[in-house]
Chains A and B, each alone.
Chain A
Amino acid sequence: QVQLKESGPGLVQPSQTLSLTCTVSGFSLTSNSVHWVRQPPGKGLEWMGGIWGDGSTDYNSALKSRLSISRDTSKSQVFLKMNSLQTDDTAIYFCTNFNWELGFDYWGQGVMVTVSS
């Protein structure tokens, strides 16, 4: 069955770079699209960006200058890298599978990232 699982450091220092991995199973990254959505504590959901089946990417313009999404199809992994982290980047980061019929149909459990010195 379709599964996604996020992994990465729980704590990142201000101004440093966040690196997260989304490991997927049950589908191919070349035919599906995987996106990142984050949620600051007590707040709503924010789409960050995604990588499409053809390998192209789209980003939230508010994050574009700091954000990079890539993948390794052989390992079924999608990567998020975001630099110059600040305290307001503290959030739960989710990866989610996207398809044009349903939208975000499968989600990972999320990983909590705290930005603090």
Chain B
Amino acid sequence: DIMMTQSPLSVAVTPGESASISCRSSKSLLHSNGITYLSWYLQRPEKSPQLLIYQISNLASGVSGRFSGSGSGTDFTLKISRVETEDVGIYYCVQFLEVPLTFGSGTKLEIK
């Protein structure tokens, strides 16, 4: 199974500042077709997860441009610029390269 390791476990951010979350996979997520199957999700309190970023860096429809993704192979980063109170929740990375599909353990973002 591909293990997904996220860090930090939690991050507290002052509104208006930036936050970065790291995700590392135990195997390269680059498929032979050239696509890297790595997405990011936000789960706000008491809500279902929401797609933020797909294929490392593509912004999902309707998602704020303050979110951006980067990385390659096994190392990925989600950056949230100008953090707002609505960004509070738990962020997950997930790999879709192979079954079983696996999630990172999550990073909790709080507001200072």
B-contacting residues of A (Cβ < 8 Å)? 35, 37, 44-47, 58-61, 94, 96, 98, 100-105, 107-110
Residues of B within 8 A of A103 (CB): 37, 39, 51, 54, 94, 96
A101-B101 contact given A94-B48, A110-B48, CB 8 Å threshold: no
**Docked complex: B65-112 residues within 8 A CB-CB of A:** 90, 92, 94, 96, 99-106
Residue contact B48 to A105, C-beta cutoff 8 Å: no
| Interchain Cβ contacts under 8 Å between A and B, 21 examples | A35-B101, A44-B90, A44-B92, A44-B103, A44-B105, A44-B106, A45-B43, A45-B49, A45-B94, A45-B106, A47-B100, A58-B99, A59-B100, A94-B48, A104-B39, A104-B41, A104-B51, A107-B49, A107-B50, A108-B48, A110-B48
Shortest beta-carbon contacts, A-B, top 3: A103-B39, A107-B48, A47-B101
Residues of B within 8 A of A104 (CB): 39, 41, 49, 51, 94
**Docked complex: B43-71 residues within 8 A CB-CB of A:** 43, 48-51, 54-55, 60
A60-B100 contact given A102-B54, A102-B60, A104-B41, CB 8 Å threshold: yes
Residues of B within 8 A of A47 (CB): 94, 100-103
> Whole-angstrom distance from the CB of A54 to the nearest CB of chain B?
15
A-contacting residues of B (Cβ < 8 Å)? 1, 37, 39, 41, 43, 48-51, 54-55, 60, 90, 92, 94, 96, 99-106
Cα-based distance from A62 to B64 in the complex (angstroms): 36
Cα-based distance from A110 to B90 in the complex (angstroms): 16
Residues of B within 8 A of A110 (CB): 48
Nearest residue in B to A64 (C-beta to C-beta)? B100
